[in-house]
Amino acid sequence: MDPVKVIRGMRDIYPDQTKWWHRLERQLAELLKCYGYGEIRTPILEHTELFKRSIGEETDIIEKEMYSFDDRDGSSLSLRPEGTAAVIRSYIENSQWQKEPLSRYYYLGQMFRHERPQKGRYRQFSQVGVELIGAAQPAADVELIDVMVQSMQAIGLSKTSLELNSLGCAECRPVYRQKLKDTLEAQRQNLCDDCKRRMVKNPLRVLDCKVESCRAIAGKAPKIIENLCSDCSQHFTHVRKGIETLGIAYNINHRMVRGLDYYTRTTFEVLAEGLGAQNAVAAGGRYDDLVKSLGGPEIPAVGFAAGLDRILLNLISSLAEPAQADGVFVVTRGEEGWLAGLKLMQELRKIGIVVQSDVRSGSLKAQMKRADKSGSRFVALLGEDEIRQESVTIKDMRAAADSTEKQFSLAKKDVVQELLVRLNHQSTGELSH
């Protein structure tokens, strides 16, 4: 019988990789805490309707990328393709604006999109997302952009660039849209098939098409930031002033329109080198109309999401191997040795020491080999002699072979305390941080 395989575009992650995930998640959580953001957890499944209403019917995500299925009562559910919609659904459902003047949330978790799998593009991937809900001021955009840039720095991502654009508002965007449509109409025959379709319902999406002929047309099209109303224009000027004051470098990217319909005004993206076509590691923007369009009051917001899989792909070559596991490996002989070993391991773990043993037992030699491979600092040996003498033989795996410290005996009653002292004083380095 053929073994069952993992689903295409999805991956298994083993301990030699999860250690990097843990580090990344910890660094992000620490940084976000400094900015006053707290973690929100929402379900992975939502009503399909939520995503249709927020992300927009004419987007790639809704048209072809969602994992949707019918629940037992026939209602359509979807695995979340992104995080913002659920956060806002929850914000409205719980009337959060009545409890706090500003809401600062972040989330960390798996998203699902049925796209063509490539390097850095998976069907299940992880994002960290950050949302600031309740402020229309440019200061909020600046805070979010700052958080995004600092997050990338904190995790050690170098060689990144920040792209900035404004998509205007309900007042100026339709005017620009028409202007753009007229320009595209004249070039219709040179657009790719997708863009011929996009042009009708979502002409802005033509601007970020990757097809060469469309890119050429987009490059000559009218620029949205030259067509903003005065409020949007002023807003954008203030955002730029703020991030310039923080010393954050950026490029204005007229072609960055983002793939989700809910964005208004400022949009931004962080690109990283070395990831080929999948070079966007974080992206976001302002979404002043989303809360209202999902049935809440008129409350402005701004947010971004960063793709952790891509970030790790980029980081992995530069990540240093963490120091060897520092701890104790317990080697035993005979039934009594095994039972005494169990007690010893329990006591050591209780005070936070990493303890391993070879549960397959086997000969002393085989166990010692395992101990050596484990990278443990000390071996604690419990055989017949030790049981009789109420002692434990300790081997220091990192002491020189001729040193008196290489092997010594400790009284059973002192062993826990003595190992703790030695591990704290002589540990060769910090673990994986």
Report the interface residues with ligand ATP, using CB under 6 A.
82, 113, 115, 120-122, 125, 127, 259, 278, 280-283, 305-307, 309-310
Distance CA 162, CA 27 (A): 21
The distance of closest approach from Cβ of residue 234 to ligand ATP in the complex, given in angstroms and rounded to an integer, is: 26
The distance of closest approach from Cβ of residue 59 to ligand ATP in the complex, given in angstroms and rounded to an integer, is: 9
The distance of closest approach from Cβ of residue 176 to ligand ATP in the complex, given in angstroms and rounded to an integer, is: 21
The distance of closest approach from Cβ of residue 195 to ligand ATP in the complex, given in angstroms and rounded to an integer, is: 16
Q: Using CB atoms, what's the residue nearest to ligand ATP?
A: 307
Torsion of CA 190, 194, 199, 203, to 10 degrees: -110
Nearer to ligand ATP, 159 or 365 (CB): 159
CB count within 10 Å of CB 31 equals: 17
Nearer to ligand ATP, 291 or 305 (CB): 305
Nearer to ligand ATP, 23 or 258 (CB): 258
Using an 8 Å Cβ cutoff, are 285 and 162 in contact? no
Using an 8 Å Cβ cutoff, are 81 and 112 in contact? yes
Using an 8 Å Cβ cutoff, are 390 and 412 in contact? yes
Cβ burial, residue 66 (10 Å; 0-12/13-18/19+): buried
Nearer to ligand ATP, 60 or 396 (CB): 60
The distance of closest approach from Cβ of residue 107 to ligand ATP in the complex, given in angstroms and rounded to an integer, is: 12
Nearer to ligand ATP, 109 or 259 (CB): 259
Cβ burial, residue 388 (10 Å; 0-12/13-18/19+): exposed
The distance of closest approach from Cβ of residue 332 to ligand ATP in the complex, given in angstroms and rounded to an integer, is: 46
The distance of closest approach from Cβ of residue 27 to ligand ATP in the complex, given in angstroms and rounded to an integer, is: 17
The distance of closest approach from Cβ of residue 270 to ligand ATP in the complex, given in angstroms and rounded to an integer, is: 8
> Any idea how long the chain is?
433
Q: In what order do the strands lie in the sheet with 327-332?
A: 354-357, 327-332, 378-382, 391-396, 407-411
The distance of closest approach from Cβ of residue 302 to ligand ATP in the complex, given in angstroms and rounded to an integer, is: 14
Residue with token string 């209202």: 292
Nearer to ligand ATP, 7 or 359 (CB): 7
Nearer to ligand ATP, 127 or 391 (CB): 127
Nearer to ligand ATP, 290 or 387 (CB): 290
Nearer to ligand ATP, 198 or 395 (CB): 198
The distance of closest approach from Cβ of residue 122 to ligand ATP in the complex, given in angstroms and rounded to an integer, is: 4
Nearer to ligand ATP, 255 or 422 (CB): 255
Contacts 24+ apart (CB under 8 A), 50-53: 50/85, 50/86, 50/89, 50/294, 51/78, 51/80, 51/81, 51/82, 51/85, 53/293, 53/294
Using an 8 Å Cβ cutoff, are 423 and 329 in contact? no
Q: Which residues sit opposite 125 in a β-bridge?
A: 111
